[in-house]
Amino acid sequence: MSKPVIVAIDDEPEFIRFLQDYFEPREYELHVALRGAEGIELVKEKKPDVLLTDLKMPGIDGDEVLKLVKSMTPSPKVIFITAYDDGGKTKARLTKMGAFACLDKPIGSLKSLEDMINKAAEK
């Protein structure tokens, strides 16, 4: 099986670089965007298996990104990576809206994220 195609959206360039430094040498096709609108265009164009997205971003935020990709065919699995924490309320809501997973930032283990991406892509 070929490796999953990934799109990542985050308004922090350092976080995007952190993902690129891990996934690109491992030969994943990773497309990145610093804004939600730009990320949505990438999803339409690249049809990724998995979308990694931040929650809090200027312009189109993670909530809106999830709604938009859920209405697309094919629709990527969405994994949120966010430092936002309100005791799990938002995570529960996003999961109910169809998010595959919600992870805490900073990411403890990129290997765990990689495993999760592969699991998401299989489904």
Question: Which H or E run contains 5?
Answer: strand 5-9
* Nearest residue to 114 (alpha-carbon basis) of 24, 15, 9, 10: 24
Judge whether 71 and 98 are in contact, CB under 8 Å. no
Candidate list 19, 43, 51, 54; residue touching Mg ion; CB under 5 A:
54
Which of these ranges, 10-18, 19-27, 28-36, 109-117, lies near Mg ion under the rule CB under 5 A?
10-18
Residues 6+ apart with CB under 8 A from 46: 5, 7, 29, 31
Among 17, 26, 44, 56, binds Mg ion (CB under 5 A): 56
51 is written with which tokens?
């979308």
CB of 54 to Mg ion, least distance (A): 4
- Does residue 74 have a cis peptide bond before it, meaning omega lies within 30 degrees of 0? yes
Stretch that binds Mg ion, among 19-27, 50-58, 65-73, 98-106 (CB under 5 A): 50-58
- Tell me if 83 contacts Mg ion by CB under 5 A: no
Residue 61 as a binder of Mg ion (CB under 5 A): the answer is no
Task: Examine residue 11 and tell whether it contacts Mg ion (CB under 5 A).
Answer: yes
Which residues, 84 to 123, sit near Mg ion by CB under 5 A?
none
Residues that bind Mg ion (CB under 5 A): 11, 54, 56-57
